[in-house]
Amino acid sequence: MDEREMMGVIESILFVSGDPVNVKDIAQVLELDVRIVRKLMNKMCDCFNFERRGLQIVAVNDTYQLATRPEHGEYVEKYIGRERVQSLSQASLETLAVIAYKQPVTKAEIEEIRGVKCDYVINTLVNRGFIHEVARMDTPGRPILYGTTDHFLRSFGLASLKELPPLKSE
Amino acid sequence: MSYLVKLQHFEGPLDLLLHLISKAKVQIEDISITEITNQYLDTLTMMEQFDIEVASEFLVMAATLLHIKSCILVPKAKQEFEGDQEDTDPRQELITRLLEYKKFKETGNKLKDREAYFSRSYYKLPEEIISMDKKEIIPTDLDIASLQEAFLNLLNADRNKNRKKIQLVHEIKRDPVTVNEKVNQLKEYFLIHSQTTFFQMFNKNYDRDDIIVTFLALLELLIDNFLDVYQNHPFGDIVIKRRA
């Protein structure tokens, strides 16, 4: 099997899956080393971008997923007659920022930074799949420690947490 | 007529403080507690005037500001030991918090732009692939008649349900015999007869209404001490005797 054929197989798998596919699963199917697959995937992503195809491969935390390009969003939305979804509120964004940079973090710590109660916002973010419970803190009351999800990374165009913009004020 | 005034919405006391500081065009590090406290309290008063419920967090911050202000005003007790002489600025904690909050607020806005852009990317659902591992169970004892029967049962069940639904108007019929009429009938009956049993009183074509009316009439006559009633065993026929 040459490289082009492997890429073809991977593209088929990504199409059928719809959901993000872990690099390990691809490696297993192709009977290849994970590192080789990772390289192949990088090449594929570049290839898709270079050819300016309608689909792109979204890489998040060692998983890959086919998606339409955001720059074509306008036309896709026109076709499906979808109105722009309401963007996140100021409160949600602030809370999400605190969680993204401080994770794992408890509700109390978030409230300390924001200076307001955050129960409702945290609930909203959990329901929208941006954050989830990652562990419990080993202190009295065993408070929930929150962290961001892969869905968060995908929605914000980040391949991993390392790609978060630096936290600083102008 | 009341006026509606739209005030800027603040996410919390820190947000409000940042707003006041930026309006005063000073650096966070250089804030004057006196000024900022006055402005902060003025804003709270204004919010109350405009009927906005001031969240408790805002009040906590007001107390904190006043506390810092008092710390600045009250002359410090002289430190006895030179080693302990940390000259801490009472504003320091607040300044640190404000700087920290500002970082997250601004980063949140940066994230907003990213989300607005990347949310216009669309994904597809996984292909539905019907698993071939499990064999489909095909019942063997089926014929076209049982299918028809099943279908008709379903239809009838549906029709009955619909019929019940259609019957919106229910006519309440007048009782053919009222309790009072029955009481009089029974009195006449016992002028002639001295004893009978409950079920002997009905002809062949009695219905539930008859039984109820007769029973109620019987109870009326019992209250009037007109009759004596007893049962030989539970659920047995009721023996009815005229009182002597």
Q: Which helix (H) or strand (E) holds A155?
A: helix A150-155
- CA angle, residues B103, B109, B114, in degrees to nearest 5: 125
Q: What's domain A86-163's architecture?
A: Orthogonal Bundle (1.10)
At B225 the pLDDT is 82
Contact A90 B99 (CB under 8 A): no
Say how far apart CA A69 and CA A7 lie, in whole Å. Answer: 19
Q: Is the dihedral of CA B125, B126, B129, B133 positive or negative?
A: negative
Angle at A167 between CA A163 and CA A170, to 5 degrees: 125
Contact between chains at B116 and A154 (C-beta distance less than 8 A): no
**Residue to substitute from B113, B114, B123, B125, interface A, most A β-carbons within 10 A:** B123
- Give the one of B57, B112, B117 whose C-beta lies nearest to A93's C-beta: B112
H/E stretch holding B173: none
CB nearest to A87's CB, from B101, B115, B122: B115
The CATH fold assigned to A3-72 is Arc Repressor Mutant, subunit A (1.10.10)
Confidence (pLDDT) at B134: 62
3-class state of residue B64 by DSSP: helix
Asked whether the predicted pLDDT for residue A149 surpasses 90, the reply is yes
Q: Give the pLDDT of residue B52.
A: 67
Taking the C-alpha atoms of residue A152 and residue A150, their distance in angstroms, rounded to an integer, is 5
Instruction: Output phi, psi for B196, to 5 deg.
Output: -160, 180
Most A CBs within 10 Å, among B101, B104, B125, B127, to test the A interface: B104
Distance of alpha carbon A29 from alpha carbon A13, whole angstroms: 10
Nearest in space to B90 (alpha carbons), one of B65, B64, B71, B107:
B71
- Scanning the structure block, which residue is given the tokens 């689909």? A55
| pLDDT (tens place) for every residue of chain B, 244 residues total | 455 555 567 888 898 898 888 888 888 888 888 888 988 898 888 887 776 667 788 888 889 899 888 888 887 665 555 554 456 777 888 889 999 999 999 998 888 888 888 888 888 888 887 766 666 666 677 777 877 888 888 777 766 666 655 566 777 777 778 888 888 888 888 888 888 888 777 766 677 777 888 888 888 888 888 888 888 777 777 888 887 6
Cis peptide before A104 (omega within 30 of 0): yes
* Residues in Cβ contact with B237 at an 8 Å cutoff, skipping those fewer than 6 apart: B197, B198, B199, B200, B231
Test mutation, A114, A125, A168, chain B, max B CBs within 10 A: A114
Instruction: Measure Cα distances from B60 to B14, B126, B183 in Å.
Output: 11, 51, 79
Residue A168 has pLDDT above 60, yes or no: yes
Domain residue extents for chain A: 3-72, 86-163
d(CA B61, CA B22): 18
- B70-89: b (≥16 Cβ within 10 Å) or e: eeeeeeeeeeeeeeeeeeee
Q: What is the pLDDT of residues A10-30, one digit of tens each?
A: 999 999 999 999 999 999 999
The pLDDT value recorded for residue B46 is 82
What's the pLDDT score for residue A107?
94
Closest listed residue to residue A85, CA positions, set B8, B10, B122: B122
Closest C-alpha among B24, B16, B18 to residue B46: B16
Q: What is the pLDDT of residue A67?
A: 94
Per residue in A40-87, pLDDT (tens digit) is: 999 999 999 999 999 999 999 999 999 999 999 889 988 988 776 677
Chain B residue numbers with beta carbons less than 8 Å from the beta carbon of A94 are: 11, 104-105, 108
What is the rounded average pLDDT for all residues in chain B? 79
User: What is the model's pLDDT at position B87?
Assistant: 60
User: Does A86-163 match A3-72 at the fold level?
Assistant: yes
Q: What is the Cα Rg of chain B in Å?
A: 45
pLDDT digits (tens, 9 = 90+) for A84-129: 667 788 899 999 999 999 999 999 999 999 998 899 999 999 999 9
Question: Would you call A93 and B127 a contact, using CB atoms and an 8 Å cutoff?
Answer: no
Strand partners, A57: A66
